[in-house]
Structure 1
Amino acid sequence: AIMDTRPFVLSPQGKNLSEIFAARAGTELERKRVQEDLQKSREQYRALYDQTPLIYFTVDPQGMIVSVNHYGARILGYDVQELMGQSVSSVIHPSDRSIFLSSIEKCLRESTKNIVPELRKIKKDGTTLWVRETIQAIGQPLGPKMVLLSCEDITEKKRTEEALVVSEQQLRHTQKMEAIGTLAGGIAHDFNNILGAILGYSELAMAQVAQDQRLRSYLQEVQAAGQRARDLVKQILAFSRRSEQEREAVNLQLVIRDVLRMIRASFPASIEILISMGPDPAVIYADASQMQQIVMNLCANAEYAMRDHGGVLEISLQHKEVPRDMGDRMVKLKAGPYVELTIRDTGKGMSPETVERIFEPFFTTKQAGEGTGLGLAVVHGIVHNHGGRITVSSMPEVGTTFTVLFPRLDVVVPLKPEEVMDWPTGSGKILFVDDEEMLTRWGTQLLSHLGYSVVSTVNPYEALEWFRETPRDFDVVVTDQTMPTMSGDTLARALLDIRQDIPILLCTGFSYTMSAEKAKALGIKAFLMKPVNGKSLAFALREILA
């Protein structure tokens, strides 16, 4: 092997080439380092873009999606590739598209940033996502402007705000109900006393004119009007939750007849009312006042729907059998015999979205001041509390049909009131106490007619003094609860302190402090709600003295 051991000396030309090579190598190394740093920066930016808790879209001037981050796609229920190339309007709620597109156009035209405080996006599963959307134009060196959309999810914030609104509405409703309850309680006593006299004296008159059918028919109309007024007071008290339900066998045919008699005059002439009830009684076990409330609410809604252009209101009753193979599939509805109430109108109808929410408390399509949004919610609650079911079908500009099913009773409810002369008679001495003189006169005449000896007074202190003097002279004490100088329960305690076995019958139209259970706990034998009619008083006395 031959090796040259002389020192290597670069020529000037070689030296220049070496310097050029070194410079290029350094430049290439620097370029590679910059590329690596840029790639690392891009990866970091992409990770930030994909994982930041904001929804990002990049949209071209035609509104097509050219980029979306992974977080945004995932929140909306999509894969990224499913959204690429799609119109951005496809994920915007139809009602919000107009304001969204106008904001994009303004952004591109003026190169400004726009903020839409509240916008609804539609997820892949059809549910709604509320967002706060920032819309900003971004320039490109060699292309048209793009639009960057950044969206903050404010769904929970909106739910909280809506819950707060509902709470405020419920608070206002509670305050309104308290005011109504106070008013109802205030008028119930006096109004029931007036009704008691009307009903009581008309009953006495009917007993005196048994042979005069013409006069009896007049008095029966007075009785019917008084009963409707009594039921109206019960409805007011029930609506304000100050009275208990009184369930009995109720013929819905009679309920419909009575409701129509009350509302027909308030309907415009442009609304025709058609009734189809069939020959068979439609008897259910229910609170009659609440059944009236159902029919009145549904008819009132029908009238509102047809108020502008008129139409037809159809009310029908029929028997319906729910077979066993259907009973299990129908919510809270057992197989068996039912009464089907159908109320149909040809009004403006409702959209499917409205139908879905129609029984929600506080939901209403009426203008402010025209409705509370509680009517149908109350109807829904009453129906289900009676073991029934209510459904609704509706089409815009066609009309609405409500169908209500109640378990049927196989009993007969008489269409006419029973004769006064069928009431039980009796004997014995009764102490009758009421602060209304017309009621003490009525009670004295009625009970005397039934065979009793009656001592009456409008002053509970006077009654107590009489009783203290001769406690064994009296067989029964009948007293009002709400009296200005002494309440009925206070009088009852004083009487029972004197004579523990004295039977007491307490009557009240309204009281915050007294109920049938409390009266029984005090030792009071019987409890009647005013206005008290002769029949209920006669039977209560017979039961006490039996």
Structure 2
Amino acid sequence: MASVTELYDAIPASILIIDERMHLIGWNRFSRDTINGLSDHEMASVNPLKRVHPDDLPEMIRKARDIIDLDIEETGEFRMYHKSGPPYKWATFRGKRAIIAGQPCVVAVVTEITEIKEVEEQQKKLQEQLLQFQKMELVGQLAGGIAHDFNNALAAIIGNTELALKKLDPSNPVVQNISDIHKLALRSADLTRQLLAFARKQVAMPRVFNLTKEVSDCLHLYQRLIDKNIHLEWHLCDEPIQVKFDPTQLEQILSNLLVNARDAIDGSGCITVRCGSARFEPSDGKTCTPRLSPGDYAKLSVTDNGCGIEASVLPHIYEPFFTTKEVGKGTGLGLSSVYGIVRQNNGHIECHSEPGKGTTFDIWFPLHQEPQQKTGIPADKPQTELKTKAKIMVVEDEPYILKLVQDILESHEFTVFTATDADECLLAAKTYEYRIDLLVTDVILPTMNGIELSRVLQKKNPAMKCLFMSAHAPDNVNGQKKLRVGVDFIQKPFGIEDFLRAIDQVLNSKVEKI
């Protein structure tokens, strides 16, 4: 039968006996060889508490005294180093009082738990990332909802001011007031576009382009945004890096990041822009972020040597209206719109910053493998003669927008029928024996959405054409049909000329089956 000493020595954990002077008077082989790396003779002079991390030492001393003085059992976690010194490792201990040779002592079992703590820390970080992502998703939904309602109001303001300006003599003193209202409404529409970008509901016109060239072209223009005492430099790779998204969104990203970098620098400094490619393999440790799947990416980085960002602020920088700038010097929508654009295009953004050490924003976009499109976005064609004899059914549940659209169309001598929902539209269409040339409808309606309504009407009148309106982007309004800007969709708010151009485009095109 094995002796007690042999049993202790077989245990893969440190067993210690400490007297009331905190001296080591007993140990097993694991403690001697693995933890201390000393001989039995040297072990007799060891003070085990000296291996404890300074931050954990007071608590460990208190627990040891309580075990001896109060005869209570104690457990806990602490950091300690093995053998010659740091790094510190996590351990757990369980201690109990024992009387040995007539003296009270602490008998403790110490087990290393470093790997367990690292796993727990990783799980904690992932949980925090998940909670932050969920929070951003909810904030995005709220921002999108606010932008949707605000865009409806702006559509009525912009359209009615344009109608009023067309009717008034330019010498009329109220023209300037109405023009100011129109300009402010357009500026407000820009703010809602930033909200929609954060909510990933911004209308985008994606195309394939060379990110390296586009960034270079943009930076030449954006130098005027940067103060003369701030040096702007860029390091772009030589080979083409093809991506597919809206180039105007790239301009939004760069302008927001460059302005923030400029504002973070007090006095002279440097802003550096880098562009290159990156590949993540399934086994690559860099793919630990849940936002990056294995594959090929384009990487865009903007670095400044400014004041940096406090750790407590970092989790909030992408939230709409959150800003550290003085009142009147920022809307708090810059980084939120950057975040929304990146996520809308299946990308990922990370911020690395320390107070006094500057900030770096890293953005990844999926590489596009197909050949670059040779043609750019076509310029708006001149408006052709409108088919003013066409009969148009307008369906809109917002009365101000319904009246506005009716006034625009009737001022161009169209025959206009109106309805506030699908039921009213179907009843009117039946009354007019479905003789409707064009259906202009909001996508979101109270009883039946605009897509479903168009299908019902086209069954009765296959020649009927459709133009859909919404304050959201077409990809987000309905999953039943792919709506296309410039083909069968116009986003609110819109100007009169844009609306008439859309009407003309649809009336002169082939019928789109829904």
One fold, TM greater than 0.5? yes
TM-score by length of 2: 0.60
1:69 equivalent in alignment to 2:23: no
Q: What are the Cα deviations for residues 423-454 of structure 1, in whole angstroms up to 9, with x where unaligned?
A: 566324322221223223332454567x6725
Q: Residues 175 and 343 of structure 1: is their aligned pair in 2 closer, same or farther, counting only changes over 3 Å? A: closer
1:29 is matched with none
Cα contact 2:274–2:302 (8 A) shared by 1: no
1:426 equivalent in alignment to 2:386: yes
Q: Residues 343 and 107 of structure 1: is their aligned pair in 2 closer, same or farther, counting only changes over 3 Å? A: same
Query: Alignment RMSD, CA only?
Result: 6.3
Match of 1:195 among 109, 131, 154: 154
Question: Would you tell me which structure has more helix in proportion to its own residues?
Answer: 1
TM-score by length of 1: 0.57
Q: What are the Cα deviations for residues 161-190 of structure 1, in whole angstroms up to 9, with x where unaligned?
A: 778977986897688678657755754543
Secondary structure, counterpart of 1:477 in structure 2: strand
Cα contact 2:52–2:80 (8 A) shared by 1: yes
Cα contact 2:256–2:338 (8 A) shared by 1: no
1:237 is displaced (CA, Å) by 3.4
2:59 is matched with 99
1:37 is matched with none
Q: Residues 285 and 120 of structure 1: is their aligned pair in 2 closer, same or farther, counting only changes over 3 Å? A: same
Cα contact 2:97–2:104 (8 A) shared by 1: no
Cα contact 1:185–1:511 (8 A) shared by 2: no
1:388 is displaced (CA, Å) by 7.2
1:134 equivalent in alignment to 2:95: yes
Count of residues in correspondence between the two structures: 449
Matches of 1:298 and 1:121 in 2, distance apart?
Answer: 46
2:440 is matched with 478
Q: Residues 378 and 110 of structure 1: is their aligned pair in 2 closer, same or farther, counting only changes over 3 Å? A: farther
2:304 is matched with 344
1:115 is matched with 74
Matches of 2:24 and 2:344 in 1, distance apart?
Answer: 53
| Correspondences of 1:163-242 after superposition (within 5 Å) | 180=139, 183=142, 187=146, 189-201=148-160, 221-222=183-184, 224-235=186-197, 237-238=199-200
Secondary structure, counterpart of 2:157 in structure 1: helix
Secondary structure, counterpart of 2:463 in structure 1: coil
Matches of 1:413 and 1:512 in 2, distance apart?
Answer: 21
Secondary structure, counterpart of 1:519 in structure 2: coil
Matches of 1:349 and 1:108 in 2, distance apart?
Answer: 45
1:488 is matched with 450
1:499 is displaced (CA, Å) by 1.5
Q: Report the residue type matching 2:188 in the other structure.
A: G
Secondary structure, counterpart of 1:226 in structure 2: helix
Question: Is there any run of 5+ residues in structure 1 with no aligned partner, and where?
Answer: 1-39, 262-271, 351-364
Match of 2:466 among 485, 495, 504: 504
Q: Report the residue type matching 1:248 in the other structure.
A: P
| Correspondences of 1:26-41 after superposition (within 5 Å) | none
Matches of 1:339 and 1:170 in 2, distance apart?
Answer: 21
Matches of 2:39 and 2:454 in 1, distance apart?
Answer: 83
Matches of 1:436 and 1:535 in 2, distance apart?
Answer: 20
Matches of 1:245 and 1:72 in 2, distance apart?
Answer: 66
Matches of 1:347 and 1:455 in 2, distance apart?
Answer: 59
Q: Which has the higher contact order (CA 8 A, sep 6+)?
A: 2
1:193 is displaced (CA, Å) by 1.0
Question: Is there any run of 5+ residues in structure 2 with no aligned partner, and where?
Answer: 237-241, 288-293, 320-334, 510-514
Secondary structure, counterpart of 2:184 in structure 1: helix
2:501 is matched with 538
Instruction: Give me the identity figure in percent.
Output: 21
Matches of 2:98 and 2:230 in 1, distance apart?
Answer: 63
Q: Which has the larger radius of gyration?
A: 1
Matches of 1:254 and 1:220 in 2, distance apart?
Answer: 29
1:455 is displaced (CA, Å) by 0.7
Q: Residues 396 and 93 of structure 1: is their aligned pair in 2 closer, same or farther, counting only changes over 3 Å? A: farther
